Amino acid sequence: MEITGYLLQQFINGLQLGAVYALIALGYTMVYGVLRLINFAHGDIFMLGAFIAYYLISKFAIPIYLVFIITMFCTAGVGYIIEKVAYKPLRGAPKISLLITAVGVSLFLEYFLSLNAIFTANYIGFPRPFEVVNYDLSLFTVTNIQILIFATTGVSLVLLYLLIYRTKQGKAMRAVSYDQEVAALMGINIDRTISFTFMVGAALAGVGGILYGIAYPQINVFMGVMPGIKSFIAAVLGGIGIIHGAVIGGFIIGISEVFVSAFLSSTFRDGVIFVILFLVLLLKPSGIFGKRIEKV
C-alpha cells in the first residue's frame, strides 16, 4: 500500500514537470513544422517568461491571471522579433545557416541578459504568488501549485487544439507545415503564418516559464538551457513536427526524470533523458508518432 502511494506521488510529481516540458516542446515542434528549424533560442524564451513574471509579481501587485496574460504577450512579442530579425533574412538560405543562427540567438539572449545591468547571472528567488496548500488524498498529496500547473496546461492545450484545428489561421499553419510551396499556391501568406507560429510557441514557453518559476522557485538566465534541451528531446521522442507527439513526449520525459530521481539517484536525472534520446535515434528516429524521417 505504501509503495503504491509513493509511486502515485512520484507520478504526480512527474506530471508536474512533464506539463512544463510539454508546453516548451510544443514550440519546438510547431516551429519545426513550419520552418524545419530547431529553434535553439526557444529555451531562452521560457527563461524570459519566468523573468517577466518575476518582475510582474514582485514589482506590481497584479492578479495571477494577468501575470499569465501579460507574460504571454511579452514572450510572443519577443518570439516575433527574433523571427523577424534573425530567421526571416535567412529564408532560402541553407538549413545549417539557420541552425547556427539559432544557437547564436540563444547565446546572445543568455549572455546579454546575464549582464549585471539587466538580470545578472545570479539565482533569484521567485516570489510565491500564493501560499502553498497541501491536499491530502490519503494515498498521495497534491499541492495547489500542481493543480494550477495541470489546469493551466490543460486550458493551454485545449486552446491550442481549437486554434490549430478550428480556425482559419490554424488551417494555414497546418498547410504550411505540410507543403510550404503549395500552401502559398492556396493564397496563404507564408511569412505571416511563420511569424504567427513563432508567437504561439513563444507564448506557450512563457506560460511554461511562469509555472516553472512557481514550482521550482529559483530563476536564473541559464535556467532555460536544460529544460530547453529536454523539451527538444521530448519533441523528438514524440515525433518532431507532431503536436500531440510533443505533449506525450513532454510527459514521458518529465515522468522519467522524476522516477529516476526517486528510485535510482538524482545524479542520473539528466543522464536518463539523453539515454532516451539515444534510444529514440537508434530505434525509431522519426519518434513515437512520426511516419517519415526528414533530414534537417
For residues 111 and 147, what is the distance between their CA atoms, to the nearest angstrom? 34
User: Which residue carries 541559464 as its cell?
Assistant: 222
Q: Binding to another protein by residue 178, rule CB under 8 A?
A: yes
Is there binding between residue 132 and another protein (CB under 8 A)? Answer: no
Q: Is 179 in the site for another protein (CB under 8 A)?
A: yes
Shortest distance in whole angstroms from residue 180 CB to another protein: 10
Q: Which of 84, 171, 244, 284 binds another protein (CB under 8 A)?
A: 171
Minimum CB distance to another protein smaller for 67 or for 183: 183
Residue 292 lies near another protein (rule: CB under 8 A): no
* Grid coordinates of 87: 530567421
d(CA 156, CA 203): 10
Q: Is 174 in the site for another protein (CB under 8 A)?
A: yes
Rounded Cα–Cα distance for residues 92 and 204 (Å): 27
- The Cα 27–Cα 107 span in angstroms is 18
Question: Minimum distance between the CB of residue 102 and another protein, rounded to whole angstroms?
Answer: 25
Give how far the C-alpha of residue 159 lies from the chain's centroid of Cα atoms, to the nearest Å: 16
Do the beta carbons of residue 198 and residue 31 sit within 8 Å?
Answer: yes
The SS3 of residue 135 is strand
Residue 151 or residue 179: which is nearer to another protein going by CB?
179
Interface with another protein, residue 226, by CB under 8 A: no
Q: Label residues 134-154 b or e (16+ Cβ within 10 Å = b).
A: eeeeeebebbebbebbbebbe
Beta-strand ranges (E) seen in 37-195 are 124-125, 134-136, 141-143
Stretch that binds another protein, among 114-122, 168-176, 215-223, 268-276 (CB under 8 A): 168-176
Burial tier of 64 (Cβ tally within 10 Å: 0-12, 13-18, 19+): middle
What distances in angstroms separate CA 65 from CA 16, 26, 132, 152, one per listed residue? 19, 21, 17, 10
Which range touches another protein (CB under 8 A), out of 164-172, 213-221, 254-262, 275-283? 164-172
Task: Answer yes or no whether residue 186 interacts with another protein by CB under 8 A.
Answer: yes
90 binds another protein (CB under 8 A): no
Q: Does 188 bind another protein (CB under 8 A)?
A: yes
Q: Is 242 in the site for another protein (CB under 8 A)?
A: no
Region of 142-150, 174-182, 195-203, 282-290 interacting with another protein (CB under 8 A): 174-182
Residue 122 or 189 having the CB closest to another protein: 189
- With beta carbons less than 8 A apart as the criterion, state whether 54 and 60 touch: no
* Count of residues that interact with another protein, criterion CB under 8 A: 17
Per CB under 8 A, the segment of 114-122, 175-183, 217-225, 280-288 that binds another protein is 175-183
Residue 181 touching another protein (CB under 8 A) = yes
Q: Is the dihedral of CA 182, 183, 187, 190 positive or negative?
A: negative
CB-wise, 91 or 128, nearer to another protein? Answer: 91
Catalog residues that contact another protein under the rule CB under 8 A.
168, 171-172, 174-175, 178-179, 181-190
